[in-house]
C-alpha cells in the first residue's frame, strides 16, 4: 500500500479484507512517500502507486483523496493534506478551512470528499483506476472524535451526523474511499477470475 497514513491503512485493509492479498504499508519496505506533483487526484494516485511498485517490485495500491468545497471553488482539493502548509496537520487544516468559510451560510457550505484508488503492477501493466465521491457540507465547528483529516467538520445530511461521529464500519460503507476501494476490489476480483 503506497501510504504511511495509519488511518487510511486501517480503512483500506478492512475494505480489501476479503481479497486474497496482504496489505503491507510501503514503509515496511523502507519506501518513502512520493512527491505528489500531480494536478488531479488521478495523477497523484498513479504517482504514488508507481513509486511504491518500482521501489518494492510488488504490485501497489494507492489512493489520492481530498475535500472540494463548493464555496472555495473546489479548494483545498489535491492540496487537502497540506492545506495549511507543508508542516501543517489535520487540526491546522481544519482551522484554515473554517476561517475561510467564516460568514458563509449553511446552505452554501456544500462539499464533497473525492477519492481515486488505483492498482499498478511492478511490470507496468495498464493501471486499474476507480473513483468516487461523498457529498455533504462543512460544519461551523468540529463534531465527533473518530476518523481523521476533515472528518470532524464534514456533515452527511442524509444520516444527520459528522463523519467523525461514525464507526469505522459506518464510514467505510458511505465514504468516498470506501466506494472507490470497493469498486477497485470488484475490478481486481474480475481481473483475477479470468
CATH label of the domain that carries residue 51: 3.90.950.10
Q: How many angstroms from the chain centroid is the CA of residue 80?
A: 10
| Whether 153 contacts 94, CB under 8 Å | yes
Q: Enter the C-alpha cell of residue 114.
A: 473525492
Q: How many angstroms from the chain centroid is the CA of residue 29?
A: 22
Domain count for the chain: 1
Q: What residues are annotated to the active site?
A: 64
Q: What is this structure's pTM?
A: 0.89
pLDDT at residue 57, rounded to an integer? 94
Task: Scan for cell 459528522, then name that residue.
Answer: 162
In a domain, 1, yes or no: no
In a domain, 69, yes or no: yes
In a domain, 82, yes or no: yes
Ordered per-residue pLDDT tens for the chain, 194 residues: 898 777 778 777 877 777 777 888 899 999 998 998 999 999 999 999 999 999 999 999 999 999 999 999 999 999 999 999 989 999 999 999 999 999 999 999 999 999 999 999 999 889 999 999 999 999 999 999 988 899 999 999 999 999 999 998 898 889 998 899 889 988 888 876 76
Measure the CA angle with vertex 73, ends 150 and 130; round to 5°.
Answer: 60
Total H helices, total E strands in the chain = 5, 5
What is the residue range of 169's domain? Answer: 6-192
Amino acid at each position: 500500500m503506497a501510504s504511511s497514513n495509519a488511518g487510511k491503512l486501517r480503512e483500506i485493509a478492512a475494505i480489501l479484507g476479503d481479497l486474497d492479498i496482504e496489505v503491507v504499508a510501503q514503509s515496511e519496505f523502507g519506501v518513502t512517500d512520493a512527491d505528489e506533483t500531480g494536478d488531479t487526484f488521478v495523477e497523484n494516485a498513479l504517482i504514488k502507486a508507481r513509486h511504491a511498485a518500482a521501489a518494492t517490485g510488488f504490485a501497489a495500491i494507492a489512493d489520492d483523496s481530498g475535500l472540494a468545497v463548493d464555496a472555495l471553488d473546489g479548494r483545498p482539493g489535491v492540496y487537502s493534506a497540506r492545506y495549511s502548509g507543508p508542516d501543517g496537520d489535520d487540526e491546522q487544516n481544519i482551522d484554515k478551512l473554517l476561517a475561510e468559510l467564516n460568514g458563509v451560510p449553511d446552505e452554501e457550505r456544500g462539499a464533497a470528499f473525492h477519492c481515486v484508488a488505483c492498482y499498478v503492477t511492478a511490470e507496468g501493466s495498464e493501471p486499474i483506476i476507480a473513483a468516487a465521491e461523498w457529498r455533504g457540507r462543512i460544519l461551523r465547528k468540529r463534531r465527533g472524535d473518530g476518523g481523521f483529516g476533515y472528518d470532524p467538520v464534514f456533515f452527511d445530511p442524509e444520516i444527520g451526523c459528522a463523519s467523525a461521529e461514525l464507526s469505522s464500519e459506518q464510514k467505510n460503507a458511505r465514504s468516498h474511499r470506501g466506494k472507490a476501494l470497493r469498486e477497485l476490489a470488484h475490478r481486481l476480483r474480475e481481473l483475477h477470475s479470468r
